[in-house]
Amino acid sequence: MIVKRKSVPLKLLGLEMLVKRLPANHPNMENILKEVHKVRAGENGERILESVFNKYSFPFEHYILHDLNLQSSGKFQIDTLFLSSQGAVILEVKNIAGRIEFPQDQNQLIRVLENGQVDAFECPSVQLERNMILLKDWLFAKGYSIPVRGAVVFPRPQQNFENVRKNLTLLFPYEIPVYLRKHKETSPSLDSKTLNAVAKDLLYDHRRYNPFPLTKSYNIQPSELVPGVRCENCGTHGMQTIHSGWGCKSCGYIDKFAHIQAFLEYCMLIDFQFTNSDIRSFFRTDNKDRVSRMLKYLEIPSTGKNRGVKYSVGLSDLERLYEMQKGNLK
Ligand SMILES: [Zn+2]
């Protein structure tokens, strides 16, 4: 049973928004584009891993938790955790294209692309081992004594590996069900009641990772961002309020919901707390009533009254607005 699904990839969405708001010649642009590429590859890998569990069912009691953020002797993030009466299995995805080599006596993984480009990455065995230790610490602190195993999943089938470390289990997605069922052959260490309690405790302790505001994380001044409501049709910033929503002066496009996207951008890039005036300045509009109505319609939590009203959002508000925006685009 899947008890926790993968969360909306807010960091990737925020980074993509940052690229659109940052002037093309900004000194951080290259680094941010690299980061977008890295985060997108990770997201795609995690989605492939999740899809294995959506397609396959296991004929014994089990719990599946995707995208889990926990803290024990340190903070850690697990791509997928599989719990059964035989114990816990951590699955970590490494979505790295090319031929993969594991140089001896080094905590590194080298990948070679077809064009000859060579890049080094942290060896996934280091990350997996760290996560296994931190999960064991978490279980110990909760009073559970459960075996913890782990494997690294490479989501691209037919990838070639050289010198794979002896202590590292590497899997392709289609091998996961067989790997997990094999553990059923070992003797069980958890009864059904404990298994259920562990799954509940994990869910309870999960804390969503908050990477925002991104300008702060990437050392960018909010004033360096291009302001204005962006036209999805031509990419120009500076849509104007019109009776039926927002109109683009450059291409004539009318968008009833352009403010939701612009609002998400403000929260993810600049700040989670703001006033009506902050939003007007980012949107490049002086229509105070329109902004007040928008914030009310979007159900943004506020404190204070009249001129002293302050607003603040949390990650769950951003997810809700993102889903709203996606629904509008359909
Ligand atoms: Zn336009």
Span 207-251, pLDDT tens digits: 998 999 999 999 999 999 999 999 999 999 999 999 888 999 999
Residue 287 alpha carbon to ligand 1 centre in Å: 21
Is residue 155 in a domain?
A: yes
Residue 285 alpha carbon to ligand 1 centre in Å: 17
Residue 227 alpha carbon to ligand 1 centre in Å: 15
Domain boundary among 142, 173, 205: 205
Is residue 253 in a domain?
A: yes
Residue 264 alpha carbon to ligand 1 centre in Å: 19
Residue 71 alpha carbon to ligand 1 centre in Å: 46
Span 49-60, pLDDT tens digits: 999 999 998 999
Residue 276 alpha carbon to ligand 1 centre in Å: 25
Residue 128 alpha carbon to ligand 1 centre in Å: 47
> What CATH code is carried by the domain that includes residue 289?
1.10.10.10
- Residues pairing with 314 in the sheet: none
Residue 259 alpha carbon to ligand 1 centre in Å: 14
Query: Is pLDDT at 329 greater than 70 in this prediction?
Result: no
Query: Is pLDDT at 184 greater than 80 in this prediction?
Result: no
Average confidence (pLDDT) over 38-65: 94
> What CATH code is carried by the domain that includes residue 11?
3.40.1350
Residue 143 alpha carbon to ligand 1 centre in Å: 59
Average confidence (pLDDT) over 96-125: 89
C-alpha distances out from residue 129 to 138, 153, 175, Å: 14, 14, 21
C-alpha distances out from residue 329 to 13, 128, 238, 326, Å: 16, 39, 20, 5
Average confidence (pLDDT) over 127-132: 95
What percent of the chain clears pLDDT 90, i.e. is strictly above it?
80
Residue 247 alpha carbon to ligand 1 centre in Å: 8
Count the domains in the chain.
2
Q: What pLDDT, on a 0 to 100 scale, did the predictor assign at position 157?
A: 81
Is residue 164 in a domain?
A: yes
Find the helix or strand (DSSP H, E) in which 170 lies: strand 170-171
Rounded Cα distance, 117 and 138, in Å: 40
Is residue 103 in a domain?
A: no
Residue 23 alpha carbon to ligand 1 centre in Å: 18
Domain boundary among 146, 170, 205: 205
Residue 126 alpha carbon to ligand 1 centre in Å: 48
Asked whether residue 141 falls in the same domain as residue 63, the answer is yes
Span 100-110, pLDDT tens digits: 998 887 888 99
Rounded Cα distance, 90 and 129, in Å: 10
Domain boundary among 205, 235, 250: 205
Residue 2 alpha carbon to ligand 1 centre in Å: 43
Query: Is pLDDT at 204 greater than 80 in this prediction?
Result: yes
- 3-class state of residue 303 by DSSP: strand
Residue 262 alpha carbon to ligand 1 centre in Å: 14
Residue 278 alpha carbon to ligand 1 centre in Å: 24
Q: Which domain holds residue 304?
A: 227-329
Is residue 72 in a domain?
A: yes
How many other C-beta atoms lie within 10 A of the C-beta of residue 191?
11
Asked whether residue 91 falls in the same domain as residue 143, the answer is yes
Is residue 19 in a domain?
A: yes
Asked whether residue 172 falls in the same domain as residue 238, the answer is no
